[in-house]
Structure 1
């Protein structure tokens, strides 16, 4: 199956890095573990509009989880260790590892993360876009 290039318009210049990032993220999105939600939190008097990513990480302790920001990529990793001292008669809950990544737009900021009731929530501050209009002088060459 060939991939359709989405940013190959002659009017979209310099977006090749964005297209590569989208391609990389679409390949990473095929894994469904752990499940997650993304919600928009409206602006309040004290906070700007935010996005919240919530991952279902039941069974993971705070020390089993790691949230990092590498350039514009938010990485969430979970590592559980097998407890060798336990003898299971039935083992339906496996000690799993995961890595979930999200590509953030330029200027997005991670406001914080918390873990409660098996849910890891990460808040992202959405920057207010600045409208910039700049006049370009035209030089006449005869």
Structure 2
């Protein structure tokens, strides 16, 4: 019981840390390079497999998904892989609803090519380039 409470608190702390990072980056208080320098050591504990890191990543993922639903991207500003994965998931959901955006499509395609295995690209609507 105590360990479950500790895990919940650690996950909540990770989510709070991510929310602060998102807020500071959005407001321009610091850049993504400065954010990377100030990264919390708890994110690296146990190879990043801990409740704190899980909560932190989930919060970034949610932010990316929300931005995709809103039809915007802040990937270049944030420089966070969890954000990018959430954004890809959100855009993929929007594609299922018939949403297309001429300025967001190149960003979507480049992130899929960067973060997703090439054998999965067709399921994301991205074609293999033929030479």
TM bracket, shorter-chain basis:
under 0.3
Greater helix share, structure number: 2
Greater strand share, structure number: 1
Larger CA Rg, structure 1 vs 2: 1
Give the TM-score normalised by the residue count of structure 1.
0.24
